[in-house]
Amino acid sequence: MRKKKTKVPPFVDQSNLKRDLETAKYKGSFDEFLKRTYSMTFFFSFMITIAIGLAFGLIETPIYLLFLFPIVYIFFFFVFLNYPKAMILRMKKKYDQEILYAGRYLLIKIESGEPLFKALIDASNSYGISSGVFKEIVNTIMSGVPIEKALEEARDTSPSDKFKRILTQILTAIKTGADVAEPLRQVLDSIRDEQFNELKGYEKKLNAITMFYLVLGGVFPALAMVLGIIIMSIMGLETNIVFFLVLLSALFLFQFLFVFNAKSSKPAVSL
């Protein structure tokens, strides 16, 4: 009996999603990813909706939960649907962190007189995430695919633009019959300069993030909470433990986003 395929929502670009899954090295099939997305979305949406209902006393009026659930469901659906993009971004940072080491290792091997294929084999036995890419290239070549085609496939599925540039330079040199070492050295020097500029830019950005964190993440929430309690006391409004728990959770989330932003904006460099 033929297996029924999971329906793809009309607003989802199927071709782009498949390409993202391939780039992210997702182990399962496209249909399995969709099924997992639907199941995880329903589970988290249900749990969060119940949690919000308990926190704000909406359990007694289930009609509010019926309106809330679709909103939460849509939010989590897009979160899990963008999982491949998050994985690609994480892989990109790992590639960029060791891009210069991998490129220089390959350059040294080529300059020492080794053929390109032998240099790729040595690079595949080196270290880090880049060795896995070189290993895939070598395995593809060993299966009978021309070296140009193998390099093109690796370039098209690489999450790192810098890694793509290295493979593009190698491909161009092979196709034109030029020496691989010189264009490889030039692109590595260009990447080194770019990473140095990224590091300088991050230094300036971090100063601004730190200032905003101290004001918005420390001083402002404390003053706002004290003033809020005073105003509610004057107005005779009652507060309970749930109210303070929600405020503390919001404050924690706010500060977490600041720290996450500072960490995620850190450039992946390997100078």
Question: In whole angstroms, what is the distance from residue 103 CA to residue 197 CA?
Answer: 19
Distance of CA 39 to the CA centre of its chain: 22
For residues 184 and 110, is the Cβ–Cβ distance under 8 A?
Answer: yes
Q: Cβ distance 151 to 170 under 8 Å? A: yes
Compute φ and ψ for 6, nearest 5 degrees.
-70, 135
Alpha helices in 157-240 (DSSP H): 161-176, 181-214, 220-235
Q: Which residue has the tokens 């989802």?
A: 12
Query: How many Å apart are CA 248 and CA 221, to the nearest integer?
Result: 10
d(CA 250, CA 252): 5
Q: What region, left, alpha or beta, does residue 103 occupy, with left being phi > 0 and alpha being psi -120 to 50 degrees?
A: alpha
CB 232 within 8 A of CB 243: no
pLDDT per residue of the chain (271 residues) written in tens, 0 to 9: 455 677 777 778 888 888 899 888 888 888 899 999 999 999 999 998 888 777 676 777 778 788 889 999 999 999 999 999 988 888 888 888 888 888 899 999 999 989 999 999 998 888 678 888 889 999 999 999 999 999 999 998 888 898 999 999 999 999 888 889 999 999 999 998 988 888 888 777 777 777 777 766 667 777 777 776 777 677 766 666 666 676 677 777 777 777 776 676 677 666 5
* CA pair distance 258, 263, nearest whole angstrom: 9
